[in-house]
A and B are shown apart, each in its own frame.
Chain A
Amino acid sequence: MTPNGTRTILDSVSGGRYEDALGVPVGASPPEINRAHVLLLHRHRDNPAVREALNRAKGVLGRETRIERARRLLRIGHTEEALAALRPENEEPGDAEQIHLIGYALYQLGRYGEAVGYLERAAELRRGATDLLWLGNAFERLERWESAAASYEYAVQLRGSAIECHLLGNALVKLERFDEALPAFERAISLGMLDDELLEKRRAVLRRRGRTRLKGKLQGAISQLRRDPIDYLLMGLVLVYGIYFLTDYF
C-alpha cells in the first residue's frame, strides 16, 4: 500500500478512482482493502472530509458486485481492467448483463468482431434494445450495413426511441434504401430528436429520393419512346425537361 495524501484521496474519490484512494490494486482482495482502509482511517482520523471519502471508497470497493465494478471502471475509462473484472473466461451463460458488458468493453477496445458475438448473445437472452444498439454500432464499424440495419430495426420494434430510429435511418441511407430511411428519420424527429444533423440528413434523403424517382421516370419514358419510334422526337423535349428539373432542384 502506498501512503496517500489528503488531496490524492479526495481527488481519487471524486473521480471514482476508489482503488487509488485506498492505495490498493484493481481487484484487491477484501482483506487487503480492509487493512488499507483501517490504517488510512487511523492516519486521517482528524480530517472528517478524508474520513468520509475513505468510507465512500471502501463502501464501493468492499460491496460492489462484479457488474457494478465493471461499469464503474468503464465510466472512468479503465476498459482493460473492466474487462478483467468481468472475467470473460468465467462467463455465466445466462447472465445477459455480464455478456453485454463484455461485448461493450470489447467494442470500446476496438475488438468489434469479438464484440458482435457477445452483444448478439446478450440481445438473444433478454431482447434488450440497448444490446441491439451496440450490436448495430459494432456492425457499422465492420461495415456490415445490412446486419446493422437489421439490429436497429429490431431495436426500434423493442423500444422505438429516437436514438434507434436515427441510427436505423443512417444504416438505411448507407444501403441506399431512401424510401425506408425517410420514415425512420421522420419518426426520430417526431420523438423529439430535432438536431441540425438529423434535419440535414432528412433533407438529403428527400433530395436523393427525389433524384431516384426522377431517374425512374426518365427511364420509363425512354423505354416507352423506344417502343414507339414516332415519339423519338419527343425524347429530346423530355431530356430538356429532366435537365431543367435537376437544375431547379439543386
Chain B
Amino acid sequence: MGRAIGIDLGTYNSAAAVALGRNRIATIESKYGKTLYGKSFPSFVLFDHNGRKQMVGQRAREELSLNPELVVWGVKRLVGLSYAAALESGELRRFEYDVEEGPGGGILIKVGDERFTPSHILEFILREIKEDAENSKVNPLLGDVIDKAIISIPAYFKAIRTAPIIEAARHAGFEEVDTIAEPTAAAIDYCVEVVREANLLAFDIGAGTLDVTVMLVINEQGELIPGELCTSGHEALGGIDMDDALIAHVIDKHGLGGIRDEPGPMAILKEEVEKAKIRLSTREMTALDLPGEDTVQLTRGELEETLAPLLDKCRGPIRVALRQAGIDPAKLDRVLFIGGPSNMPCIRKLVAEELERLGAGAAVLDDVAGSPGQKLPVDPMECVARGAALKAGKIVEPVGKVIAEGYGTIYGPVEGDKDYYEPIIRENSHYPISGTALLSHGNPQALEVPIALVAKRPDVERSTDDKTVYNYEYMGNYTLGITPQRRLPSIEIQLKVTDDKRVVANLIHTQTRQQVRYEGLDLLKGQRIDLQEHTPPAMWRQHDLDVLSETVTSRRGAWTKQHLENLLHVAREALALVTDAENEKLKRAVTEVERAIGRAVESESPEPNEDCPNLSNRVKELLDTLRQPGIAQISNDDFRRYLDQLIKIAQMV
C-alpha cells in the first residue's frame, strides 16, 4: 500500500506535501528545485512543434518567453468551461497557444498536430508531481509508491469544474483521489493552534480564483474538527487578472501598443510585471525591464490605483459568505490569508476596511492589517498543500464540504409573466446531499414530461448589504417518458450532489414508478435566465392538485349537461374540418345528439343517461360515426386533435 499526498493544484504554481506526523509535514521537492514563487511545481507544460510533451514545471515556464505558443499554462481557468463561455469572458485572449471548440462544446488546446483537453494538461502536471514524489533522489524521505492524493480545489468551483480534475488525477496514476476545498486545507494547517473553538474567515486569492470561506473550528478534547460553513468567491479573479490589468497599464503608459501582437515580447513583459507585483508587496517602488533596452519605474501607488476596480470585486464575497454562514462579524476570531496575492498590502487593507464596515472586532482588524515583519499564522504559499497532506494522512479530518450553488426546478408563472424557482438543494449546502420536489403536469395524456433544472448561486457583484441577489443558470430540460394514467401525472424530482461533487437527477413517475436517471449534470451549456425569487402568491397547494387529480380519476359514468355540451362543441369544430362526403354522416350524428340533449335538458333530469336511452344511443352512434374508416383516417392534424378530445370526453361519459 502506497503513501498519500496532498496536492495544491494551482493556476500558476502547484505544490505537494506529505504528512509524516501531526507536526511533521514535508514539502515535496521538484527535480528542478524551488522556484522564485515559493512553490515547486509551476503549472506549465512545454510541447514540441509536433505536440509531444517535453517538460513540465519550472523548465517549461522558462520557455514561455521563447516559445509562447508551445507552452500551455493557466488551464485551471479553462477546466470545465465551454468554449463559448471562455470566448465570451475573454479568457482565451491572454493565452498564446491555440484553443478551439471541441466535441460537445468543450475546450480543446491545439499544439502542433495534437489536441488536448484541459484535463489532459492537468494530468501531465499531476503525473510530474507523482513521479518526483516517488523519486528517492529528489525526495529521499518518501521513496515509496504514491497512489493516493487529496487534491485541493477552489471552494467556489462549480461541480462541473471539479470532475475533470478528479479524472486527470486518476489518469495520472493515483488510485484513490479525493478533493478538499483550498481554504479548508489552509485552515487545517492553521487549526492545530485552536484551543477551544474559533470562527475563521479564510481569504484565498490565488493566481486564478478567489475563495472566501467561513469556518468553525472546534477543539473537542484535543481532537480538531474543522467545519466549513459557507463559501463564496469568484471563479475568475486572481493574480493573472491583476497581471493583465498591470500589463495594460504599462503598455498604455509607455506607448508599447505595438507589442500586443508579438508573443515573445508580451511573454517577457508578463514575467516582468509579475515579478514587479511581487516586489511591490514589500517595497514602495521597483524597476521594470521592458522588452528591448528600456527600464521604467513602477510605484505601489500606481499598482494600487490600477488594481482598485478589480480588487473591489473582493468585497462582495466577504459580505455574502459572512451573511450566509449566519456569523456575526463581531464574533469572527481570525482571518487567514492564503495565496501569493494575499501578501499585497492593498489586499490586506481592503479586507480590513470591509470587515470594519461589517462590524468585525478590533483584535481581528489589527490582525488583518498586520505589521511589518509580523509572522503569519500560516505560510500563504504552502498552507494549502500542507493542509491537504494532513487530510491525506488522516491526521485531521475536516467535516462539511460546501457546494456554493443550489439546484432546483422551475414552474410556470402563477401571476405575472415570469417563472418561479423551486429550490430542491439550497445554495451553500453541505454535500453529499439530496433533495426532492414533486411536480404535477397538466396533461393526463402526456407521453413524456420535460423537467427544467436550474442552478442558483449568490451574485456577489450585485449583492448589497441588505440583500443577497441570485443568478440562475438553466441546466437544460431532462425528460421522463411515461405511460399515461387516468390522473394527472405527478413527477418526483430527486436531486443529489455526491461526495465527489457530481450532480445526479432521478425523475420518477409517482403512479407507475417509471424513472430515468441523469448523471453528471453540468452547466457547460448553461444560460442565464430570469426567474422570480420568491414564493408565488396564492399558488396551488399540493392538496388542491391532489383533490383535482382524485376527481379526474373518480368519474363513474355520470353524464351532465356540461359534458354533453362539450361533446357537441367539439363535434361541431370537427365538422368544419371534414370533407363534404364525410361531413354529411357526421352532421347527421351530431344533429341527432343535439336533439337528444335538448330533450334531456328539458326533462331536467339529474342523470340524463339514466332517463334518456335515446340520448345514450345517439352518443354511441356519433362515436361509431367518428370511428368509421373514412373519418378516422383523415390526416388533418386539427381534426385528429378534435377527434382525440372528443373520444376522451365520450370515454369519460
Categorize the interface residue count of chain A: 35 or more
- Distance A127 CA – B537 CA, assembled complex (angstroms): 9
Is B326 touching A31 in the complex (CB atoms < 8 A)? yes
Among B218, B425, B432, B560, the residue within 8 A (CB) of A35 is B218
Q: Is B133 an interface residue (CB 8 A)?
A: no
- Distance A116 CA – B426 CA, assembled complex (angstroms): 34
A residues 157-188 near B (Cβ < 8 Å) are: 161-163, 186-187
Given contacts A41-B399, A55-B433, 19 further A-B contacts (CB under 8 A): A30-B326, A34-B216, A38-B218, A45-B399, A51-B432, A56-B435, A96-B538, A126-B415, A129-B538, A130-B540, A131-B538, A186-B560, A189-B558, A191-B551, A193-B547, A194-B554, A194-B555, A194-B558, A202-B606
Q: Is A42 an interface residue (CB 8 A)?
A: yes
Is B326 touching A29 in the complex (CB atoms < 8 A)? yes
A54 to B, closest residue via Cβ: B430
Is B548 touching A161 in the complex (CB atoms < 8 A)? yes
- Distance A187 CA – B218 CA, assembled complex (angstroms): 64
Is A163 touching B399 in the complex (CB atoms < 8 A)? no
A126/B538 contact (C-beta < 8 A), A39-B220, A59-B426 known: yes
Is A37 touching B227 in the complex (CB atoms < 8 A)? yes
Q: Is A234 an interface residue (CB 8 A)?
A: no
Q: Is A238 an interface residue (CB 8 A)?
A: no
A residues 225-249 near B (Cβ < 8 Å) are: none
A199/B326 contact (C-beta < 8 A), A35-B216, A161-B548, A190-B563 known: no
A-chain residues with CB within 8 Å of residue B548 when the two chains form the complex: 161-163, 192-193
Q: How far is the CB of B224 from chain A (nearest CB, A)?
A: 10
Q: Is B353 an interface residue (CB 8 A)?
A: no
Categorize the interface residue count of chain B: 35 or more
A-chain residues with CB within 8 Å of residue B251 when the two chains form the complex: none
A-B pair number, CB within 8 angstroms: 137
Among B400, B425, B539, the residue within 8 A (CB) of A37 is B400
B414 to A, closest residue via Cβ: A128
Q: How far is the CB of A8 from chain B (nearest CB, A)?
A: 19
Is B227 touching A58 in the complex (CB atoms < 8 A)? no
B-chain residues with CB within 8 Å of residue A202 when the two chains form the complex: 606
- Distance A211 CA – B305 CA, assembled complex (angstroms): 91
B-chain residues with CB within 8 Å of residue A89 when the two chains form the complex: none
Among A35, A63, A161, the residue within 8 A (CB) of B427 is A63
Enumerate chain B interface residues (CB-CB to A < 8 A): 197, 216, 218, 220, 225, 227, 229, 324-328, 331, 397, 399-400, 415, 425-435, 499, 535, 537-541, 544, 547-548, 550-552, 554-556, 558, 560-563, 566, 604, 606
A residues 8-62 near B (Cβ < 8 Å) are: 29-31, 33-35, 37-39, 41-42, 45, 48, 51-52, 54-56, 58-60, 62
Q: Is A218 an interface residue (CB 8 A)?
A: no
Can you pick out 21 interface pairs between chain A and chain B where the beta carbons lie within 8 Å of each other? A31-B328, A33-B326, A34-B227, A35-B216, A37-B400, A38-B227, A38-B399, A41-B400, A41-B430, A42-B220, A59-B430, A96-B538, A97-B537, A126-B538, A127-B538, A130-B538, A161-B548, A162-B551, A190-B562, A192-B555, A194-B551
- Distance A116 CA – B547 CA, assembled complex (angstroms): 24
A81-95 to B contact mask, C-beta < 8 Å, 1/0: 000000000000000
- Distance A186 CA – B606 CA, assembled complex (angstroms): 10
Q: Is A150 an interface residue (CB 8 A)?
A: no
A-chain residues with CB within 8 Å of residue B218 when the two chains form the complex: 35, 38-39, 42
Is B558 touching A199 in the complex (CB atoms < 8 A)? yes
Is A195 touching B551 in the complex (CB atoms < 8 A)? yes
Q: How far is the CB of A155 from chain B (nearest CB, A)?
A: 10
A-chain residues with CB within 8 Å of residue B425 when the two chains form the complex: 59
Is B606 touching A203 in the complex (CB atoms < 8 A)? yes
A192/B560 contact (C-beta < 8 A), A48-B499, A59-B429 known: no
- Distance A96 CA – B538 CA, assembled complex (angstroms): 9
Residue of A51, A161, A163 contacting most chain B CB atoms (<10 Å): A51
Q: How far is the CB of A73 from chain B (nearest CB, A)?
A: 15
Q: Is A222 an interface residue (CB 8 A)?
A: no
B-chain residues with CB within 8 Å of residue A131 when the two chains form the complex: 538
Is B426 touching A63 in the complex (CB atoms < 8 A)? yes
Is B547 touching A163 in the complex (CB atoms < 8 A)? yes
Is A58 touching B555 in the complex (CB atoms < 8 A)? no
B-chain residues with CB within 8 Å of residue A45 when the two chains form the complex: 397, 399
Q: How far is the CB of A22 from chain B (nearest CB, A)?
A: 12
Q: Which 6 A-B pairs have the closest CB atoms?
A: A30-B326, A128-B538, A190-B562, A38-B227, A59-B429, A41-B399
B-chain residues with CB within 8 Å of residue A130 when the two chains form the complex: 538-541, 544
B-chain residues with CB within 8 Å of residue A187 when the two chains form the complex: 562
A-chain residues with CB within 8 Å of residue B225 when the two chains form the complex: 38-39, 42
Is A186 touching B535 in the complex (CB atoms < 8 A)? no
B561 to A, closest residue via Cβ: A186
- Distance A54 CA – B434 CA, assembled complex (angstroms): 11
A31/B327 contact (C-beta < 8 A), A38-B216, A161-B548 known: yes
B326 to A, closest residue via Cβ: A30
A-chain residues with CB within 8 Å of residue B400 when the two chains form the complex: 37-38, 41, 55
- Distance A46 CA – B563 CA, assembled complex (angstroms): 61
B-chain residues with CB within 8 Å of residue A192 when the two chains form the complex: 548, 551-552, 555
- Distance A35 CA – B431 CA, assembled complex (angstroms): 17
Residue of B220, B325, B326, B435 contacting most chain A CB atoms (<10 Å): B326
A-chain residues with CB within 8 Å of residue B331 when the two chains form the complex: 31
Is A63 touching B429 in the complex (CB atoms < 8 A)? yes
A-chain residues with CB within 8 Å of residue B544 when the two chains form the complex: 130, 161, 163
A78-118 to B contact mask, C-beta < 8 Å, 1/0: 00000000000000000011001000000000000000000
A-chain residues with CB within 8 Å of residue B325 when the two chains form the complex: 30, 34
A60 to B, closest residue via Cβ: B426
Is B537 touching A128 in the complex (CB atoms < 8 A)? yes
- Distance A62 CA – B558 CA, assembled complex (angstroms): 51
- Distance A194 CA – B430 CA, assembled complex (angstroms): 47
Among A34, A55, A186, the residue within 8 A (CB) of B431 is A55
A189 to B, closest residue via Cβ: B560
- Distance A41 CA – B551 CA, assembled complex (angstroms): 45
- Distance A39 CA – B197 CA, assembled complex (angstroms): 12
Q: How far is the CB of A130 from chain B (nearest CB, A)?
A: 5
